[in-house]
A and B are shown apart, each in its own frame.
Chain A
């Protein structure tokens, strides 16, 4: 391996190594300073496909559709019902406490204690009403009975009071900007909720539950921050494994240090580019670190081998660089290009993931490929490591000699048959692979996370659904409550209510019908939309904000869904489009998709469904071309790519079995898995080819290959798996999903390279590679 010619870079690099070291130290300090300023970003716009028609429509109406950024605090009586003085006092304290929070719309807070929540009844003389808890309330049984009666006639059962009367809600609308004109700090707000509401009021008799976008984002940030700890754990495990393998603390330290420096550079450059880190791109430091370590292992391995031969640190370092810079450069570039294919998916967080991963890989070229040999030229490796290497080179390699049998014709035939069956079964299972998220509740978090349990509680005990599709009804100015438009909306709502998966609908039409019923003494025989414009106008005078915009050119129809599974969304979206195609009339009303969490998810699903095949074609295309350029042989490409493809198929089958859908978080997995997984193939194939060119038969060449790189390949698979494997324990579900799938892909790609690649080689290149110069 060391008979290569020195590269033109080698001489200047090692001559100027002190300068280089200083330069790197300065750069690292600079990037570390920048990286310290990194912001965690959870911006809504970044997680959605901005180019999608639905999202474009949504953004067009964003300012007019204040569809409620709010939180609900549920105060639950653990024993008995809410009609006790003790409970009502706690409810009052919670209401008072939240009043002083920064960023809440104080006047619009609603609870049984606030004067804006009233009971009302129709009497012979007209309407009569009052506050639910009257000023005369004194906690006596009589006044509690009065409260109970008021609750019943207030119509708040199912809204502010649970259907079973065991809990009540404090509904808190939020302002987009807090007191000092700054954007609401979700993290701070969420922490305050925990400290000043949940911790303070939760007791043996009282349970506090909190739901709402602000709380969800708060929990998400908290969970994401927790992942930082995993990074330290991954570093720790890797350090120990590396130490055991290399038996040299110096070189182990150098590899870890350089890989961490690559991460610092990556984050520093990101910050310089004005980008933050988000819960998705948080994966990148783990990947970069793991890739760095895996290449570092190859470097110290080679250095130890060279040091065996020449007892000069500088020369050994030069030879190491000379031997590895081409395959390592190729592997890193293919990683980066693999990542860049993710750029084609028009969702910001995925594109950011692509950029930051590619940046990290380029950082690695400098920090690892260059710096590790330079540092090794100073440090050398320990005596123990050299002894270990000596032993290794002269060992019998019992395991590898057995693994090498995979290249024999008999084993190869069996292997290929198994692979074909595996692919068939995998394809069959992944027929049922779903797009989108499949669990109930907030998809970012675990179904049994505190937030989702609270959310489930609210769904079960109150008449609200968390999954909402909003159709925007656009009309000419000042016409959104014109009889013709209302009539279309009314029919549209019934059309939607008949779609399986739709629970109910709500719009200005609902309000109009309710108010007309109220005008007519609560007689439901009047609960119809009238054609008389004056009556409509009267009935919509006090429509709640959000159901019509200020110039009455927009009236959303809110569609409550059973869940946010892709089929449910598809059916609902198709039904909207069907109605819109038949009924849209620019002079009366046009039905435009979409807002609400379900609308955003429908757009995201559509984008992902469209992108997933394209992305696979691209990533496989790119790595195939890279392999073709490197090895100039279609056979080589097949040997390297087929094991990867098998892993991709099995990964999809695994997703199906685990109930993980293709979504923003899991779509990048295949590109990352293939991009990094191709490294193994490249390393193994290039050595295999080399030994065959030296005149060896396939089996012998493969045995030699395993002796040299087998361990490094396994070690690479392991370090990569450890890096992403820690994510399985994340509080954030999609991070855990990514962790599981990437771990699987890295390990299986390794297995594929060691087991299937030689089997394919048996059929494709046995006897095809001629010795170069015998």
Chain B
């Protein structure tokens, strides 16, 4: 029912989206706390939310503006110069040099020197408004009020020019010039209730997925320009999307240990078997039929059959794991509540 109304409105909103993307984000510097992140020995042991590996380089982001860079498979970390202290939630590198990170208060950061230093490209901080100012807001601005100060939750760049960022309350931003300008592209998807968009992820064949709260799920077959809404298998929240191991394979996972697998670009789904009951946050394919998923309470799931069944392990610390990646040396890096953990992939 909602779907039909959504369709009618889509055209009109799309128009607005294109022109008014960052219409009221220009005053952000006034409200943004521009204290630079503090160097800390504890950065690698405190909350980290995402990790990206690009060739020999490992970059992880997390609490208090921490961005850590390792060129030796995580043996040691250099802390980057970052202009803010907000909790960062995701990072993506498109080359040895260029990468983007996003986080709370709608910050988008960019590095052009391989992660050593970062510049602020965009922010959407919480603004303190008088009653008078509140009254002057347009309806559009009023509905988007919850976005202010809320976190952006994931970032994906197609190349060093075109990239997308998704976040809380339906935030969906895009750039075509490497982040010099950011536009609101939320009109490209049918998310009129403004559900949180938790993850954006692309397969090798250029297919891109966005998954979020209340089972919202979108797919783009053209690198992010046009999106279709998929009827997902689940009404709860997805925290992540993982593509592979097959070309059209895709996993959805989220609340309560739910895992779903599709082999046809998300058209049909089957539920994978696992004992997990905690939220699952991230995954990685390890070649062949091996897939790993990680999540809250230190849950680590491993599948050797392409993701139909998973066996469960729980780390000793039971701290949430938010991201997992393969390191150049074949080991695995996991980051989360307690910082960095590096493990060898368990034997089959």
Q: Is B151 at the interface (CB under 8 A from chain A)?
A: yes
Given A525-B151, A528-B63, A530-B126, answer yes or no on A153-B47 (Cβ-Cβ < 8 Å).
no
Cβ-defined contact, A153 with B277, below 8 A: yes
Q: CB < 8 Å: which of A122, A498, A528, A531 contacts B151?
A: A528
Inter-chain CA distance A309–B133, complex, in Å, is: 111
Closest to B105 in A: A531
Kindly supply a per-residue 1/0 record for chain B positions 290-307, scoring 1 wherever the CB is within 8 Å of any chain A CB and 0 otherwise: 000000110000000000
Cβ-defined contact, A527 with B149, below 8 A: no
Q: CB < 8 Å: which of B234, B279, B316, B318 contacts A523?
A: B279
Inter-chain CA distance A333–B281, complex, in Å, is: 77
Kindly supply a per-residue 1/0 record for chain A positions 108-125, scoring 1 wherever the CB is within 8 Å of any chain B CB and 0 otherwise: 000000000000011110
Cβ-defined contact, B256 with A121, below 8 A: yes
For residue B322, give the distance in angstroms from its CB to the closest CB of chain A. 6
Cβ-defined contact, B296 with A522, below 8 A: yes
Cβ-defined contact, A498 with B42, below 8 A: yes
Inter-chain CA distance A32–B239, complex, in Å, is: 78
Q: CB < 8 Å: which of A124, A149, A487 contacts B256?
A: A124
A152 contacts across to B, CB distance below 8 A: 297
Inter-chain CA distance A556–B336, complex, in Å, is: 27
Q: Is A398 at the interface (CB under 8 A from chain B)?
A: no
Cβ-defined contact, A528 with B235, below 8 A: no
Please report which residues of chain B, range 218-245, place their CB below 8 angstroms from some CB of chain A when the two chains form the complex. Answer: 234-237, 239
Given A494-B38, A523-B279, answer yes or no on A528-B104 (Cβ-Cβ < 8 Å).
yes
Cβ-defined contact, A525 with B236, below 8 A: no
Q: Is B208 at the interface (CB under 8 A from chain A)?
A: no
Kindly supply a per-residue 1/0 record for chain B positions 311-322, scoring 1 wherever the CB is within 8 Å of any chain A CB and 0 otherwise: 000001010101
Q: CB < 8 Å: which of B42, B105, B153 contacts A525?
A: B153
B234 contacts across to A, CB distance below 8 A: 124
Q: CB < 8 Å: which of A494, A522, A524, A530 contacts B149?
A: A530
A526 contacts across to B, CB distance below 8 A: 151
For residue B228, give the distance in angstroms from its CB to the closest CB of chain A. 24
Q: CB < 8 Å: which of A124, A494, A498, A527 contacts B236?
A: A124
B85 contacts across to A, CB distance below 8 A: 491
B64 contacts across to A, CB distance below 8 A: 494
For residue B34, give the distance in angstroms from its CB to the closest CB of chain A. 14
A124 contacts across to B, CB distance below 8 A: 234-237, 255-256
A527 contacts across to B, CB distance below 8 A: 47, 63, 87
Q: CB < 8 Å: which of B239, B255, B316 contacts A123?
A: B255
Q: Is B191 at the interface (CB under 8 A from chain A)?
A: no
Cβ-defined contact, A524 with B236, below 8 A: no
Closest to B46 in A: A497
Please report which residues of chain B, range 311-348, place their CB below 8 angstroms from some CB of chain A when the two chains form the complex. Answer: 316, 318, 320, 322, 336-337
Cβ-defined contact, B47 with A531, below 8 A: no
Q: Is B89 at the interface (CB under 8 A from chain A)?
A: yes
B281 contacts across to A, CB distance below 8 A: 523-524
Q: Is A157 at the interface (CB under 8 A from chain B)?
A: yes
Given A124-B255, A498-B40, A532-B126, answer yes or no on A525-B297 (Cβ-Cβ < 8 Å).
no
Cβ-defined contact, A528 with B42, below 8 A: no
For residue A699, give the distance in angstroms from its CB to the closest CB of chain B. 68
Given A121-B256, A124-B235, A498-B40, answer yes or no on A522-B279 (Cβ-Cβ < 8 Å).
yes
Please report which residues of chain A, range 498-546, place their CB below 8 angstroms from some CB of chain B when the two chains form the complex. Answer: 498, 520-528, 530-532
Count of inter-chain pairs, beta carbons less than 8 A: 80
Given A494-B38, A525-B49, A528-B63, answer yes or no on A123-B256 (Cβ-Cβ < 8 Å).
yes
Please report which residues of chain A, range 562-605, place their CB below 8 angstroms from some CB of chain B when the two chains form the complex. Answer: none
Q: Is B125 at the interface (CB under 8 A from chain A)?
A: yes
Cβ-defined contact, B322 with A525, below 8 A: yes
Inter-chain CA distance A520–B42, complex, in Å, is: 26
Closest to A152 in B: B297
Inter-chain CA distance A494–B316, complex, in Å, is: 25
Q: Is B86 at the interface (CB under 8 A from chain A)?
A: yes
B40 contacts across to A, CB distance below 8 A: 494, 498
Cβ-defined contact, B49 with A122, below 8 A: no
Q: Is B41 at the interface (CB under 8 A from chain A)?
A: yes
Cβ-defined contact, B322 with A524, below 8 A: yes
Inter-chain CA distance A525–B155, complex, in Å, is: 13
Inter-chain CA distance A526–B255, complex, in Å, is: 15
Closest to A533 in B: B128
Q: Is B198 at the interface (CB under 8 A from chain A)?
A: yes
Kindly supply a per-residue 1/0 record for chain A positions 481-498, scoring 1 wherever the CB is within 8 Å of any chain B CB and 0 otherwise: 000000100010010011
Which residues on A are within 8 Å of B, measured CB to CB? Answer: 121-124, 149, 152-153, 157, 163, 487, 491, 494, 497-498, 520-528, 530-532
Which residues on B are within 8 Å of A, measured CB to CB? Answer: 33, 38, 40-42, 46-47, 49, 63-64, 85-87, 89-90, 104-105, 125-126, 149, 151, 153, 196, 198, 213, 234-237, 239, 255-256, 277-279, 281, 296-297, 316, 318, 320, 322, 336-337
In the A-B complex, the 7 residue pairs with the closest CB atoms? A124-B236, A528-B87, A531-B126, A525-B89, A528-B104, A522-B279, A524-B320
Write 7 A-B pairs (CB below 8 A) sorted by A numbering.
A121-B256, A123-B236, A521-B213, A521-B239, A522-B278, A525-B87, A532-B149
